[in-house]
Structure 1
Amino acid sequence: MNPARASIRTPDQRLRVFVSSTLRELAPERRAVRRAIEELRLAPVMFELGARPHPPRELYRAYLEQSDIFVGLYAERYGWVAPGEEISGLEDEYRLAPRDMPKLVYVKEAAEREPRLVELLDRIRDDDGAAYVYFADEDELAELVRGDLATLLAERFATAAAREPVWPSTGEPLVVETGHVTPPPVPLSEMIGRERELARVLDLLRGSARFITVTGPAGIGKSLLALVVAHEVRDDFADGVAFVDLAAVTAPDRVTAAIAAAIGVHDTGEGDFDRKLQVALRGRRMLLLVDNFEQVIDAGTVLRDLLEELPDISLLVTSRSLLRVSGEHGVELGPLPLPDPSRIVDRPTELQAASVRLFVDRVRTVKPDFELTAENAIDVARVCVALDGVPLAIELAAARARVLPPAELLERLRKRLPMLTDGSRDLPERHRTMRGAIEWSIQLVPESAQLLFARLGVFAGAFSLEAAEAIARPSPGAAGAGDGDVVVDLEALVDASILHQRERGDRAVYMMLGAVREVAHEHLLELPDARAVHDRYAAWFIALSEEAEYALEGVSQQTWVDRLNDDADNLRAVMRHLLDTRQWSAAAHFAWMLYLYWWVGGHLGEARAWMNEVLDSGEPLDRLTEATALYFTRAIAFWQWPDVSLIPDLRRSAEGFRASGDLPGEGLAYISLGLAQLAALTPPDPVGAAESLERALASMREAGDTWGEGHALVTIGRIELLQGHYDSALERFASSLDIAQRRGDRHAEAIAQYHVGWVRLLLGQADEARRRFEINLDLSCRLAHDEGIAYGLEGLTAVAAEEGDAPRAGLLMGAAEVLRERTGLYNMRPFIVTSPFVDRVLDGPDAIMFEAARGRGRALSTADAVAVAFQAPDGARS
């Protein structure tokens, strides 16, 4: 491994392992290899499409260049060879792997192999830089991969130790991300022909207007214009641009939550959410780009209220119609300028019409050698006129120009478009043209792809190949359904520009534009097995949640949180389907499997609302469903503001989990019950709390649930700490820390380190306390865990206050306060607080110095505050 490659790490400092294989025949093996890699705390680099031309060669070349180890999996197939290519993506990946990269090659025992794969394997065997071994099944493969990677790492560590550590220390520079503001995505294509409208929006934004709505029918280019504007003005707004996508939001009362999520405010289920949003945005110079507002048009007052309360916030909204609220400036998008086909011969400038330029540009993306000529110019102009200059319609037609010359394209449009648009007289004219173009494009793909398109209408957001395959399998008794190859059909839909493909991290995903998704969903509702498709959709994500449940507790936690964040719209849609179809048990199970995701990701408020629907259904619930719903609603409520009335329901939840055989669930319920008993307002019950917490610990140990055991130990330790039993509290925290480190659970480790730090500080060991809080802060930053970062800053505030360093204490305290306000965590009620340490400073001669520094801390970015936190203190002041 050369020095340059040795320095490349994932954001959390793990080595990258690039996995190359065909996909469909090796799906179980790929999953087994992923698990083996993650168990060794390495980062798998795997493409959903396996060895196919998408993602493009440039992308997997870049990932190979940034990877440390190559793992190749081979069975019977050579892989698909794309048009214009001579080798498959499978062979291309092997060839592109750098010569000095360690290569581990695993070949599945098979009776037959495709001839070109045999040739490839012969060349691999002759490569003295590749280790080559056969395997029988995925279990054997996983064991081989684990052993080979462990041996390889040991060897590489020995040779690299003199150069640099394989596992970098926490002293390496951190990329601190807090608030998780969602940036506008990069536009899928170049904008053409909107120069006037672009200038108008920019003039408004850079002038006195703070609320601009871009209007127009579906497919006219509103979102593209807004994205171009956002990237143009991002430097004009000190706090950046946040992208709020409402494509999957249909209820007006969810708009506030969508905006809050886009700027990184956590939904913890407590407090006034509108108020939280205003607190988080106060004092920030920011543009909110709110896309697809037409389906929640009644929520316009939400935006108006934000502008009234927050003078530094500006809004750029896209909608099919104006919101008609005060302060709104409308910019309407119409069709692109059209040429006059009858004047092209004597006036060639007609071919400079924006609609023609767009058509030519999009054709060249699929047919690079396309040129406007005297023979095809009139037909191109007529195509644009037939499509009324609607950009989406033009792009869909251009995608067919790879196989249809303009004359034939025009002829097909003339035959089909009137028939497709005439049946929708209730729609505006331009909308009918766009809908007709979508329908026309769909009818040009194979029948199996048309059926797949309809079924893909079930997705609320982007989706993977595996998810598409799961919902595409035929329903029992559905004649002719699902006969196509999903990969081939997806490729046909991508080629027709009906689907778009993007990479999210190491995963390839598909997505539809909003107007296309509407048509797909309408087609889905016309299928006789539409309900079955929805059920398969739900089943896929429920299975994903079951896979995620334990993965969220270990070394791959952040990987899974990121993946689930990508699927957030689909997760919400699945839950909505389960609730709307009154599948209470499935809804509770789905919520429970993702419990740690809702917690870590700041979505517990949503989970609480869903489970309230289950409890309020008035229908009989089985014990496990009731226990789960009670836990989400009562335990979450307790975490915010404890109340004695919650105690009976938490006890019933614990008993329900026990009766259902769910011991970890029982343990979690007893933890919350114990806390409620201790903190109940009238009166506290410390004896009952101790008993409940010991029962929680016993349940976790009986179940062999080490994650739950660590959680219980921390909670018991907190109570012992508050009671002044420092030695026993330290023992509990140390045991929890040991479990977390053995599991590779960095979130749990951060929590345990934080609590150890408090014991050390209360024992007068300020230096050791500082070290523990710094470890907690480092881990929390790497996890992008806002609450953990706030706790770390607050712990270091207490250390600085104890040492008499008022300026440092004030600076860190101010930064922590702002972080909590920006992320909606300011109402959270911590068990251990800095106030006794800070109060001593405020009661002393350094109070003015502390408050001045506190003000400066509030003006710091969190990244700058973290940098200050890791600087060595100037020394104690007496």
Structure 2
Amino acid sequence: MTSFIGREAHRAAIVDMIRQPDVRLLTLAGPAGVGKTRLALAAAEALVDEFPDGVHFNSFSSLRSSDQVPAAIAEALNIRSMAGDSIESRIIANCRDRTMLLVLDNLEHVLPVPFITRILTACRQVKVLATSRTVLRLSGEHEYVVPPMEVPVAGDIRLASDLDNVESVSLLLNRARQSSPAFTLTDENAVDIAAICTRLDGLPLAIELAAARMKVFPPAALLDRLSDRLSLLTGGPSDQPLHQRTIRATIDWSHDLLSPREQRMFRRLAVFSSGITMQAAAAICLDDNDDAFTYVEALDELTLLVDKSLVQQEPESGDGPSFFLLETVRHYAMERLCASGEDHTIRERHAVHYLDFAERTTELLRGPEQVIWLDRIEANQPNIRLALETLRQIDDFERYARLCCALFRFWRLRGVLAEGRAWLDVALEPAWQVQLPDDLRSLVFTSSGWLALDQGDADHAESCGDRGLEIATRICHDSGIALAYGLLAFVDHRQGIDTRAVERLDLSLLHYRAAGDDHNVAGTLNNLALIALGSGDLEHAASMFEKSRDAFLALGNLRGVSHGIHNRGVALYCLGQYDEALRCSRESYAIDRKLADKRGSAVSLDHIGKCARALGDLIMAWEAHAQSLPLRKEIGDPRGLLVWLEAMALWMAHAARPELAARTLGAIEVVRIGSNIPIHKNELGDHEATETLARERLGDREFEAHLARGRWLSLDEAVAAMWETAEQCVLELEHGAPTTPAGTTSILGLTPREHEVLMLIAQRYTDKEIADALFISPRTVARHVTGIFTKLDVHSRREAAAKVTGSQPV
């Protein structure tokens, strides 16, 4: 990250404008390369403390239309779509009562953006700081035109000291020293330095590109070259802004310094939307005469372009070097590519490369390196989205559908459900369907159906499952038949038709075995056990989950192993074997964390919480549920939020908060009916226990009154009320309220969890090591350590450990 040079007066003016009550939308307007983004970031940094709900930056440089803006804002705010709600309404609901600043960068190519007006109208404490080459032309917009940097006054420069505190000169010197640390401003070169800044019109991008050449050309020689390039400025199209022609001339000059091979590489890099790896550059930017780049040669070419400031390098990551083009430079490179006549060929080559990447990696998402490949696909999402867009634009029906289906597993694992369905919906259109081979048509339908079911849209899921099954059966495609039967089985299960669900899963298993798909055979065994669990056949379910776990273990599929272990724990919990159930849930959570599986982690954490509550440790239970909730929200899992609320309702009943337990049951009832999410038999025990305990403590009349009040709560309101009350309950429990069953002896006056922490302190565990051992957060460990010190009247970990060992601290 380069330093922020100058512009202090502009930053102060922007900060002052944002602070004004009547300024809700402020647009920093100006030409490409004038420094709008850096100025916006600097102003936002100065305002961080004034927006308690955060300053959120979002760049739209990789978007292609205004329709994508809401999804991009939602991603920046970690908001996931839910069944029945548009992403726009989710954003507004999330931001309605928050005081935050949204910094929206590079809006010029997605205008108009009416959604900004909707946010500002509905969310009165939200402000927007936007950057764009043109004003947004929205109601209530305030405009701040970002001018070029200050330049020396011609004729006033004689000595180096005359350039003190001139912004453009400071920027030029700073950037020049990055490539040539020994460069200094002297009386001899001061005039030339001043002339360079003046002739570049004080535009930061132009100055930075020129500064990179100062390691080769001394100021006088550089000035001569700039004079040649800028002479083209007056001869360019008169309808182009002067500042835009200056940037173009500067990039022209840099481009002309490249060898023909470098020029070819540079213009072809324009097809990338973001991170460029050397492998991708080698595959896409090869020469037409089979003079292909090797990976090393591609890296050499990219490094040369980095040195010449036309390509930027990303911060180093574990996957090797990655590069990108500044957006203005990318537009220039794209013009060059189009002028060369290569654009259609290179864009198609780019799309095919990312199709190949997706198809190669999709199977790797089922093995032990699952998390590595999930992260790599995530990092390549901008380019993958561009590939999808390219294939759609050129009507390459089959490749488009293949890419969607290759991404299906990624979309499910990462919870990118709405976006996945949107891409797949294109391939469901009749005009596209007639162009696809039958096996791919079937896969498109069933993939869309699974994503719909994950969102709670059982009707669409069933329709897609029926179509996918019909096509796959007609062509005798075992994998397609199996996938469709599996989907329809879970539609049945969600609707409570478990007998037919089992029949369909048996058929799915039969066809997966015929196809030789061992991974899905193991998965179907797990799904059959889930149906048995949901129907109340607990011992049979526990036995089947063990078989599924063993099958996944043999395949090296750690995610499947985690599911088998966790689900066995659920069955054991329902059988009242809470200690063994807790052991299973902790084991599955350890695997989920290793895989960075957010959905799996949330599920395991909630079950750890249920087991801890059943064992009488309400504090341990809350620690687990508190970690689960942010994950549930992030992945946008409506059924998962109901699971969380059900668990916490019973927690509240045990924590002497029967009123909230009853209201929560009312909210859950309405959501289940509205979203067609029935309660399964294995869930009935806890649900009925919550109602029974709350009724006992409140009486029938008061219970029914609170239940009725709860029916008016939204899901978000119920969750917020639960969180706030639970935090208060935990404080009370930590200061003396009982958290263990009657008859349990408190050791040294500590809670069971505090005693666990103390024993690990005595073994010289750090807070992080304790957190890992007990599956809690370091922050929670720190809170327990404070409680231990207070209760034991000690002031150090060594003194606390001495209470266990009986020794005297040294």
TM-score bucket (shorter structure): 0.7 to 0.9
The answer to whether the 8 Å contact 2:445/2:464 transfers is yes
Alignment partners' CA distance in 1, 2:265 and 2:234:
23
Which position in structure 2 is the counterpart of 1:257? 71
Which position in structure 1 is the counterpart of 2:40? 226
Matched, 1:839 2:691: yes
**CA shift digits 1:155-187 (9 cap, x unpaired):** xxxxxxxxxxxxxxxxxxxxxxxxxxxxxxxxx
Alignment partners' CA distance in 1, 2:456 and 2:696:
32
406, 422, 444: which one pairs with 1:629? 444
Change (3 A) 1:371 1:308: same
Change (3 A) 1:539 1:671: same
Matched, 1:598 2:450: no
Matched, 1:306 2:125: no
Runs of 5+ in structure 2 lacking a partner?
Answer: 641-676, 711-716, 744-810
297, 301, 312: which one pairs with 1:500? 312
Please state whether the residue corresponding to 1:526 is helix, strand or coil: helix
Q: Give runs of aligned pairs for residues 211-250 of structure 1, distance below 5 A.
A: 211-250=25-64
RMSD across aligned C-alpha pairs, in angstroms?
3.6
Alignment partners' CA distance in 2, 1:315 and 1:372:
40
1:222 Cα shift?
1.2
Please state whether the residue corresponding to 1:460 is helix, strand or coil: coil
Alignment partners' CA distance in 1, 2:558 and 2:40:
39
Matched, 1:669 2:484: yes
Letter in 1 for 2:697: P
The answer to whether the 8 Å contact 2:546/2:568 transfers is yes
Please state whether the residue corresponding to 1:289 is helix, strand or coil: strand
Change (3 A) 1:617 1:812: same
Which position in structure 1 is the counterpart of 2:455? 640
Letter in 1 for 2:281: A
The answer to whether the 8 Å contact 1:463/1:511 transfers is yes
Which position in structure 2 is the counterpart of 1:554? 367
Change (3 A) 1:714 1:491: same
Matched, 1:190 2:3: yes
1:256 Cα shift?
0.8
Please state whether the residue corresponding to 1:388 is helix, strand or coil: coil
Which position in structure 2 is the counterpart of 1:734? 546
Alignment partners' CA distance in 2, 1:231 and 1:504:
24
The answer to whether the 8 Å contact 2:449/2:460 transfers is no
Please state whether the residue corresponding to 1:843 is helix, strand or coil: helix
Change (3 A) 1:661 1:502: farther
User: Which stretch of structure 1 is more off in the superposition, 213-222 or 322-331?
Assistant: 322-331
Alignment partners' CA distance in 2, 1:432 and 1:544:
39
User: Which stretch of structure 1 is more off in the superposition, 253-262 or 823-832?
Assistant: 823-832
1:704 Cα shift?
3.6
1:319 Cα shift?
1.5
Matched, 1:790 2:597: no
Letter in 2 for 1:713: L
1:651 Cα shift?
3.5
Which position in structure 2 is the counterpart of 1:758? 570
Q: Give runs of aligned pairs for residues 452-491 of structure 1, distance below 5 A.
A: 452-475=265-288, 485-491=297-303
Alignment partners' CA distance in 2, 1:615 and 1:743:
33
Matched, 1:768 2:584: no
Letter in 2 for 1:632: S
Which position in structure 2 is the counterpart of 1:292? 106
1:466 Cα shift?
0.8
Please state whether the residue corresponding to 1:352 is helix, strand or coil: coil
Q: Percent identity, aligned pairs only?
A: 29
The answer to whether the 8 Å contact 2:361/2:373 transfers is yes
563, 570, 578: which one pairs with 2:376? 563
Alignment partners' CA distance in 2, 1:764 and 1:544:
47
Which position in structure 2 is the counterpart of 1:509? 322
Which position in structure 2 is the counterpart of 1:106? none
Please state whether the residue corresponding to 1:542 is helix, strand or coil: helix
Which position in structure 1 is the counterpart of 2:757? none
Q: Which has the higher contact order (CA 8 A, sep 6+)?
A: 1
Change (3 A) 1:462 1:761: same
Alignment partners' CA distance in 2, 1:857 and 1:245:
35
Change (3 A) 1:288 1:660: farther
Matched, 1:716 2:581: no
Which position in structure 1 is the counterpart of 2:505? 693
**CA shift digits 1:374-412 (9 cap, x unpaired):** 222111111111111100011011111111111111111
Change (3 A) 1:475 1:766: same
Alignment partners' CA distance in 1, 2:176 and 2:619:
63
Change (3 A) 1:265 1:666: farther
The answer to whether the 8 Å contact 2:465/2:485 transfers is yes
Change (3 A) 1:277 1:876: farther
1:607 Cα shift?
2.0
TM-score of the superposed pair, with normalisation by structure 2:
0.76
Letter in 1 for 2:487: S
Alignment partners' CA distance in 1, 2:251 and 2:569:
61
Which position in structure 2 is the counterpart of 1:315? 128
Alignment partners' CA distance in 1, 2:143 and 2:352:
43
Q: Give runs of aligned pairs for residues 77-96 of structure 1, distance below 5 A.
A: none
Alignment partners' CA distance in 2, 1:231 and 1:675:
48
Change (3 A) 1:316 1:876: farther
1:710 Cα shift?
3.0
Which position in structure 1 is the counterpart of 2:637? 825
The answer to whether the 8 Å contact 1:461/1:570 transfers is yes
The answer to whether the 8 Å contact 1:761/1:769 transfers is yes
Change (3 A) 1:812 1:419: same
Q: Give runs of aligned pairs for residues 415-426 of structure 1, distance below 5 A.
A: 415-419=228-232, 422-426=235-239
Please state whether the residue corresponding to 2:400 is helix, strand or coil: helix
The answer to whether the 8 Å contact 1:268/1:603 transfers is no
1:547 Cα shift?
2.3
Instruction: Give the structure with the higher percent helix.
Output: 2
Which position in structure 2 is the counterpart of 1:364? 177
1:328 Cα shift?
3.8
Which position in structure 2 is the counterpart of 1:385? 198
Alignment partners' CA distance in 2, 1:243 and 1:623:
44
Runs of 5+ in structure 1 lacking a partner?
Answer: 1-187
Alignment partners' CA distance in 1, 2:233 and 2:572:
74
Alignment partners' CA distance in 1, 2:215 and 2:484:
61
1:785 Cα shift?
3.7
1:239 Cα shift?
4.5
720, 741, 745: which one pairs with 1:876? 741
Letter in 1 for 2:365: L
**CA shift digits 1:37-56 (9 cap, x unpaired):** xxxxxxxxxxxxxxxxxxxx
The answer to whether the 8 Å contact 2:505/2:528 transfers is yes
Alignment partners' CA distance in 2, 1:775 and 1:427:
64
Matched, 1:858 2:672: no
Matched, 1:532 2:345: yes
Matched, 1:333 2:124: no
**CA shift digits 1:629-683 (9 cap, x unpaired):** 2113233223334546754641331354567786444432221011223445xxx
Letter in 2 for 1:705: D
Change (3 A) 1:487 1:715: same
**CA shift digits 1:694-731 (9 cap, x unpaired):** 12222333334333223222221121112111122112
